[in-house]
Amino acid sequence: MVRLSFSGVDFLALRQGALFWPARRALLVADLHLEKASWYACRGQMLPPYDSIATLADLTALVEETGAREVWCLGDSFHDRAGGERLSDRARAALDMLTSSIDWSWITGNHDAGLAADIGGRVLAEAVVDGLVLRHEAHPGDGRPELSGHFHPRLRLQMRGRNVARRCFVAGETKLILPAFGALTGGLDAGDPAIGRAVGGPARALVPVADRLLSFPLAA
Amino acid sequence: MSADSSEPDLPPAVAGWFAARGWSVRRHQQAMLAAARAGRHALLVAPTGAGKTLAGFLPSIVDLAERPMDRLHTLYVSPLKALAVDVRRNLLDPIEEMGLPVRVETRTGDTPSDRKARQRARPPEMLLTTPESLSLLLSYPDAAGLFATLRTVVIDEVHAFANQKRGDLLALCLSRLQRLAPGMRRVALSATVADPDAYRAWLAPDGDIDAVDLVRGDPGVPARISILLPEDRVPWSGHSGRYAAEQVMAEIETHRTTIVFCNTRALAELIFQDLWKVNLQSLPIGIHHGSLSREARRKVEGAMAAGLLRGLVATASLDLGVDWGDVDLVIQMGAPKGSSRLLQRIGRSNHRLDEPSEAVLVPGNRFEYLEARAALDAVDEGELDPDVFRPGTLDVLAQHIMACACAEPFAANQLYEEVTGAAPYSGLDRETFDRVLHYIESGGYALKAYDRFRRLTLGADGLWRVTHPQFAQQHRLNAGIIVEAPMVEVRFRNGRSLGKVEELFAAALTPGDTFFFAGMALEVERVDATDLVVRATSKSARIPSYMGARLPISTNLADRVRRLLHDHDQWPRFPADVREWLEVQDRRSVLPSPGQLLVETFPREGRHYMVAYSFEGWNAHQSLGMLITRRMETAGLMPLGFVANDYALGTYSLKPVTNPAALFSPDILEDEFVEWVQGSALLKRAFREVAVIGGLVERQQPGKKKSGRQVTFSTDLIYDVLRRYEPDHLLLRAAWADARARMTDVGRLAHLLDTAADRMVHVDLPRISPMAVPVLVLIGRETVAQGLADDALLEEAELLAAEAMRED
């Protein structure tokens, strides 16, 4: 956990790709894409049916590690709106355990718009929390400080003949984009023009390592 | 052509065709005819240029001349898509000239779909295809009808792929074909190989090797091979022979057509540039390698076939098949790596048996000189490298079972029997077969999550069938054995494509960087997810580092090099500088006997070096380097890095290695090896391939083709999840088998470690030895970070970025 300051608010960035907000004891994650594997399985690609279990286990561990009292999921929490119905018993139990013991909010995204309200926790299109806008996809026209997901940013670089790729945060003046947290979520190059347009203005890719936050300027 | 008194009984059209050319049927062609008349399978082993392809087709031509039939008679399977030139000369022209009403058509991935549909409705008498296209044909419900009349299947260039995954697929297809057409004869054509019986066994149905006749072609005139040594000198280092560009150009000038073989694509580009600089007469020379766009390759192939080129710089992409006619010289840049490979490359030149092929080897350094010498001796003595046949892989089996299911409902017992009739799968146990079947059915997971989404169901009639036609369609779109590394397209701004480079290479480029590709110096304008946009430049280009397979030196050749090192009687044959190099080594250190493993340690400029001359080839040494430096780390020796080539492994550290034997112990394979491979990118790369071949992920969806890049993303993540929750899954097993066999060369590594203790001779020297120089000069050229965690690399990258961006 390393300090990440955004819009005057102190956060802790976790190397698993989540953000902790100490003042509220809130954990923020984006793009869980639960039940992505079973969505593919319906269509003939039998991906390992363990992605929801893996994602929820990682999330549970972070909740325990940080002592979070609130969890905000910034959209695309399920790979599709029917994903909740396909959860295995084991994944369902893990999720119920979380949503029943923590103040849980689902912000919906393009994949899980129309998420059923009986999933546990509250379902919202977006939220404003202590002056910060939380939504799924960054709104270029909105000048308020904003936390979002959607793009799955990932930093790729070559160093000494080796390729390193890591999920990363992308920060601009008033926008902070979280990496995808789901076990089977791929990434988009942090320097991709689509991310640049969403952030608008100079942006940095932020990568938490053991003791500090690495910062890479992204080409405008 | 040689005359023969005992002319076989040929139909008039065929006999007349031979007579009109003043030819007689050659001995091996007669033997192939005899095998056909006796209804026996046959393997023809003959050097290139012996009229092999015609010998393969002749029995079918004769049969069709005698008994015309308007159904599929002969299937010709070649590993190459580009059959046009060769087949025209060997098949279409003769058939036309004999005036036979025989239709010959090709079917590959490039064949338009309307023609494919027509071929299934009204098949030609002879169909020319690839293993992949054959497998697809077998996946259609009408396969049984289509192949029922099949008499013969002819497999060309069998030596090039029988022991690989495409060979596994073809062996399975043969089993199926044999069931559809029980009387079908199997015929395979091979270049000269060390062990023809291994190929007979591969070809034989149900392991019945005696059912396959072995027919040997006449040996050609021995090749004339020489080693090119400008001013009788061999450089200390390098591995490309680039220093000899002028002499190579002189050879091109004095021959009709020359092929210059290089061991990697990157080298081919460099050599092409070097040659172009000294091409004072502006002779037409071209370049050909697997990364170039198909159009570029076809253009060069066309120019070669038309005799328009004087020189062609090429890589292994030319190793196969295509017969270039007028080539009269083959030049091998750098080490030949194996005698079989060298012979096959030499076979590209001079396809007339009565004239010797001519070849020139250009060694890049002193070890490579010894290797070239060794290869020459091996060729003289007719010693070839043995081919290793391993059990068939499970990802290919999965693909085949799915293809069978798409064709028609099947009974598991019967399919198991059919599959084990294919040589690569003869040892497959029923439990593993069932696991593969379960994998096809619903992913093969311990967790029963996908019962609702099954792709196959077992009916009350005891037959397995595909649950939805959509899955059959998906299979046909995704089937295939070749899985490319993620690539990006190199193109000009106007859209013209030059070919593809590995994404890893492209990722390291930024606008303004220059590199050689397609024979040009190119400057990067823009890099994005799928394209590398470039423009031609006159700036000098930096060295390209895009990868491409690197073959290790063969065991036979390595053994010969060891003998040459040790046998002083051989040295007078060597150039003076190589001789001197060995003599000084002998005085200052040790020249190991063939059985010994020499390990030298010495200090230099504050670092401590260890060089082990183990001769197990580049891959094994690379793997060993990773493992040994880990051990050194644990032992507190503070290793800084290592370098590996085909002959030796060199490490450097802050503290000296005093007891190398402790580092080279076989238990390293039990613990550290497993840990290292699992943590490395190797297994992920292997997993990606088996996941695509095995049909876990799609390479292509109806209407949209995924880029290689997208496939990589998801399979890495799938790998992580699977390893965490089901480490014993079938596909992880398959990935492991691949990683062990192909990527780490674990067989040679194990041999080295098992025998190290008994064979090791450790010499502690005050300074570097002559033999260590060609190894250690690699340091600084191949700066591969070792032992550093990704985090450290990221931190270093941040520092560099900060430095570069700093406003002074």
For residue B346, what are its two tokens?
A: 């030499």
Instruction: Identify the pLDDT of residue A159.
Output: 63
Residues 468-527 of B with CB under 8 A from A: 468, 470-471, 474, 504, 507-508
Mean pLDDT is lowest, of A13-17, B104-108, B179-183, for B104-108
Q: Choose from A33, A46, A51 for mutation: most chain B CBs within 10 A.
A: A46
Mean pLDDT per segment of 10 residues, for chain A of length 220 residues? Answer: 94 95 97 95 93 97 97 96 92 96 95 84 94 96 95 81 80 96 91 91 91 85
For residue B768, the Cα-to-chain-centroid distance in whole angstroms is 36
Q: Given a cut of 80, is residue B698 above it in pLDDT?
A: yes
**Residues ≥6 apart with Cβ < 8 Å to B12:** none
Domain count, chain A: 1
A209 interaction partners in chain B (CB closer than 8 Å):
791, 794-795
Nearest to B318 by CA among B155, B106, B103, B85: B85
- Answer whether A46 sits within 8 Å of B455, measured CB to CB: yes
Q: Choose from A33, A35, A42, A50 for mutation: most chain B CBs within 10 A.
A: A50
pLDDT in tens, B132-177: 999 999 999 999 999 999 999 999 989 989 999 999 999 999 999 9
B697 interaction partners in chain A (CB closer than 8 Å):
45, 47
Whether B12-216 and B224-380 share one fold: the answer is: yes
How far away is chain B from the Cα of A45, in angstroms, using its nearest Cα? 6
How confident is the model over B715-732, as a mean pLDDT?
93
Exposure letters A20-59 (e unless 16+ CB within 10 A, then b): bbeebebbbbbbbbbbbbbbbbeebbbbbbbbbbbbbbbb
Look up the domain containing A163 and give its range.
2-218
pLDDT in tens, B535-573: 888 766 554 444 445 678 899 999 999 999 999 999 999
Fold classified for B12-216 = Rossmann fold (3.40.50)
Q: Given a cut of 80, is residue B491 above it in pLDDT?
A: yes
Instruction: Identify the pLDDT of residue B507.
Output: 65
Residue of B nearest to A208 (CA): B791
Residue B783 sits at the chain A interface (C-beta within 8 Å): yes
Assess contact for B244 and B365: CB atoms under 8 A.
Answer: no
CATH code for the domain in which residue A149 is found: 3.60.21
pLDDT in tens, B610-633: 999 999 988 888 888 888 888 898
For the domain bounded by B224-380, which CATH number is listed? 3.40.50.300
- Answer whether B721 sits within 8 Å of A214, measured CB to CB: no
- Answer whether B725 sits within 8 Å of A162, measured CB to CB: no
Mean pLDDT is lowest, of A152-166, B54-68, B415-429, B448-462, for A152-166
Instruction: Identify the pLDDT of residue B545.
Output: 47
**Residues ≥6 apart with Cβ < 8 Å to B501:** B291, B487, B488, B490, B517, B532, B546
Mapping DSSP to helix (H, G, I), strand (E, B) and coil, where does residue B91 land? helix
A41 interaction partners in chain B (CB closer than 8 Å):
442-443, 449-450, 453
Ordered by start, the domain boundaries in chain B are 12-216, 224-380, 487-536, 555-661+742-791
Identity (one letter) of the amino acid at A35?
E
Select from A48, A161, A166 the Cβ nearest to the Cβ of B794. Answer: A166
Residue of B nearest to A156 (CA): B507
How confident is the model over B79-100, as a mean pLDDT?
78
The mean of the pLDDT values for chain B is: 85
Residue B51 sits at the chain A interface (C-beta within 8 Å): no
For residue B537, the Cα-to-chain-centroid distance in whole angstroms is 33
Q: Given a cut of 60, is residue B804 above it in pLDDT?
A: no
Tell me the ipTM for this assembly: 0.91
User: What is the distance between the alpha carbons of residues B554 and B339, in angstroms, rounded to a whole number?
Assistant: 8
Question: Does residue B779 or residue A109 have the better pLDDT?
Answer: A109
Q: Cα-flanking dihedrals φ and ψ of residue B683, to 5°?
A: -70, -35
